[in-house]
Amino acid sequence: MAMQDCLLKIKGISLEFSGTPILKLVNLSLNQGEIHALVGENGAGKSSLFKCILGIISPSQGEIIFLNESLSGYSIREILRKGIAMIHQELMLIPELTVAENIFLGRESMPGKRMGLREINQATTDLFQEYDLDIPVGAFVKDLSIAHQQIIEIMRSVSQKARLILMDEPTSSLTEKEITFFKQLIFRLKSEGISIVFTSHKMDEVFGFSDKISVLRDGEMVGTFSKEEVNPMSLVQKMVGREMKDFYPKAISEVGESILSVDDLSCVPHFEHVNFTLCVGEVLGLSGLVGAGRSDIGQVLFGIKKKTSGQMFLKGQVYNPENPSDALRAGFGYLGEDRKEMGIIPEMNITENMSLGLLDAGYRKLCFIDDEKENSDAMDMQGRLSVHSAKEGQRIQNLSGGNQQKVLFGRILLNNPEVLILDEPTRGIDVMSKFEIYTLILSLKKQGKAILLISSDLPELLAMSDRVIVISKGKQMAEMTREEASPEQVLAYALH
């Protein structure tokens, strides 16, 4: 390999945080125009590695060489100017500014030239034309979809002449269609000689996008592989360090009689005329693009949104929850789409987060909290769901995504619900936790819970569900059994 082809070389970097090793002698090298996937469980050290490259934290030993120059001692600003950019999971745009203003933010007056609004708009239009992007440069960022916002961040890096773009789970909030576009865009960047390192938990992207794949496990680099050397199964094994027989666990259990039926349910403008029944011991999958109305169906069932017409029946009785408390009392459990927004109370510990839904009904003595019962129930649940925490009383915000999600499952299960609505139960969590959650869902199904599973992860949805309903633009397009449903077919209906 010629020397000038090598863009980035990480030589044996180690990092410690208050005594705990985060990265151990990590090596990585990257060529120009290479797309490199960085995989590993949450907590394996992926984000720490990114932070080291960007100069946000400095490693305790080792060296990072970018374009034949060591980056040690440079500030974040200087490193950015050398051509390294990062696209964070939470986008860093200013919603109240326009697309063009965001792209040139902080660079309106460069030495020697000042860019007025007209120049900025023109430069952005030229840039977008070059990349065949159809986004109005004068639109406010707040009015754009997440996918477009992400593209704008990428374009900002491109306009800053970035040679290397680091992306932290870039596709986690994109729909299938948007991911296809995203893929075209990064291949375009590659052809311009820009290198990309991205993290992802989705195997089809890891294999679909990248030239090379590096695996981190517990802060150590397991190795860098070409696509031909590994397959999804062997890659997962390398990530978790042990063998997993089948990624989606299987369990055969009987589906019982109907418990919930939804009759011509509408919640304008989100969805209209939805009909289905859900049975005891059944997993019913709800598929569709983000924004198609699937999450809204779950929210109406749980009393978060109000229906506009139609009816719901629970065990033959009319069911019409005014708010989530009604739904909880009726025997519903709900896991929201966005853990941070609708799930965790960040400052509270595991126990407090678990018991929150049941304080009134289960842990109240007069107006006081029954500590003993609360703690013992929460500890039991924590053991049952194998929630891993470093120390007792740890705040939930310091847990990994997978463990946070397990705590939220604990909150639901303490209430002993009959019907569970699970909206994206495995979004943004590591492979091992995903596997545990699948196993949990199947055991709940076996216990006779009725489960409505909403997911953007099509392989997951098809593997877990007994039946699948496809929603597109608020309309029910199809209902299929597991045997009838193929990914192509479901996607065809979803894109309809």
Partner 1 sequence: MKELKAFFTKSPTGGIFLALILVCVLFSSMTSRFLTTTNLSVILNQVSVNAILAFGVTFVIIAGGIDLSLGSLVAVCGVVVALLSQNNEYSLWIAIIGTLVAGLALGALNGIIVVLTKVPPFIVTLGTMTIGRGIALILSKGRPISDLNESLNFLGNGDLFGIPIPILFLVLSYGTCHVLLTKTVFGRYVKAIGGNEMASYVAGVRVNRIKLYVYMISGLFAALAGILLTARINTGQPNAGLGFELDAIAAVIIGGTSTRGGKGTITGTLLGVLFIGVINNGLDLINVSAYWQQVIMGGIIILAVVLDGLYQKLKMNI
Contacting partner 1 (CB under 8 A), which of 341, 392, 483, 488?
Answer: 341
Complex with partner 1: residue 57 or 255, whichever CB lies closer: 57
Complex with partner 1: residue 340 or 446, whichever CB lies closer: 340
346 binds partner 1 (CB under 8 A): yes
CB of 243 to partner 1, least distance (A): 37
CB of 421 to partner 1, least distance (A): 11
Burial class (CB in 10 A: 0-12, 13-18, 19+), 394: middle
304 binds partner 1 (CB under 8 A): yes
CB atoms near residue 381 (< 10 Å): 21
Which residue, chain included where needed, has tokens 């027989």? 245
Contacting partner 1 (CB under 8 A), which of 9, 315, 364, 388?
Answer: 364
Token code pair at residue 436: 């545990």
Which residue, chain included where needed, has tokens 């978790």? 240
Contacting partner 1 (CB under 8 A), which of 78, 311, 359, 446?
Answer: 359
Q: Sign of the CA dihedral 408, 411, 414, 415? A: negative
Stretch that binds partner 1, among 162-170, 311-319, 357-365, 384-392 (CB under 8 A): 357-365
Contacting partner 1 (CB under 8 A), which of 309, 323, 386, 447?
Answer: 323
452 binds partner 1 (CB under 8 A): no
CB of 365 to partner 1, least distance (A): 9
Nearest to 11 by CA among 22, 27, 24: 27
Complex with partner 1: residue 57 or 65, whichever CB lies closer: 57
Contacting partner 1 (CB under 8 A), which of 279, 344, 432, 471?
Answer: 344
> For residues 270 and 233, what is the distance between their CA atoms, to the nearest angstrom?
38
368 binds partner 1 (CB under 8 A): yes
Stretch that binds partner 1, among 123-131, 158-166, 255-263, 342-350 (CB under 8 A): 342-350
CB of 289 to partner 1, least distance (A): 23
CB atoms near residue 478 (< 10 Å): 18
> For residues 429 and 402, what is the distance between their CA atoms, to the nearest angstrom?
5
Complex with partner 1: residue 364 or 384, whichever CB lies closer: 364
**N-term to C-term CA, the chain:** 47
Contacts with partner 1, 4-43, as mask; x by CB under 8 A = --------------x-------------------------
Residue 113 CA, chain-centre distance (Å), reads: 41
Contacting partner 1 (CB under 8 A), which of 59, 343, 417, 425?
Answer: 343
CB atoms near residue 138 (< 10 Å): 12
Cβ atoms of residues 422 and 256 within 8 Å: no
Contacts with partner 1, 404-443, as mask; x by CB under 8 A = -------x--------------------------------
132 binds partner 1 (CB under 8 A): no
Stretch that binds partner 1, among 143-151, 166-174, 265-273, 333-341 (CB under 8 A): 333-341
Complex with partner 1: residue 2 or 367, whichever CB lies closer: 367
298 binds partner 1 (CB under 8 A): no
Complex with partner 1: residue 150 or 295, whichever CB lies closer: 295
Which residue, chain included where needed, has tokens 């019409």? 320
Q: What is the length of the chain? A: 496
Please name the helix (run of DSSP H) or strand (run of DSSP E) that holds residue 311, with its range, or none.
Answer: strand 309-314
Question: What does the longest C-alpha to C-alpha distance in the chain come to?
Answer: 76
Which residue, chain included where needed, has tokens 């924004």? 291
Which residue, chain included where needed, has tokens 């960040």? 346
Complex with partner 1: residue 183 or 364, whichever CB lies closer: 364
357 binds partner 1 (CB under 8 A): yes
325 binds partner 1 (CB under 8 A): yes
Complex with partner 1: residue 196 or 344, whichever CB lies closer: 344
Nearest to 432 by CA among 409, 395, 401: 401
CB of 244 to partner 1, least distance (A): 32
The DSSP call for residue 142 is: G
Contacting partner 1 (CB under 8 A), which of 135, 356, 463, 492?
Answer: 356
Could you tell me how many residues of this chain bind partner 1 (CB under 8 A)? 28
Burial 247-283 (b: 16+ CB within 10 A, else e): bebeeeeebeebbbbbeebbbeebbbebebbbbbbbb
Burial class (CB in 10 A: 0-12, 13-18, 19+), 62: middle
360 binds partner 1 (CB under 8 A): yes
CB of 391 to partner 1, least distance (A): 11
> For residues 317 and 259, what is the distance between their CA atoms, to the nearest angstrom?
10
> For residues 146 and 153, what is the distance between their CA atoms, to the nearest angstrom?
11
334 binds partner 1 (CB under 8 A): yes
> For residues 174 and 202, what is the distance between their CA atoms, to the nearest angstrom?
12
Residues that bind partner 1 (CB under 8 A): 18, 302, 304, 323-325, 328, 334, 336, 341-348, 352, 356-357, 359-360, 363-364, 367-369, 411
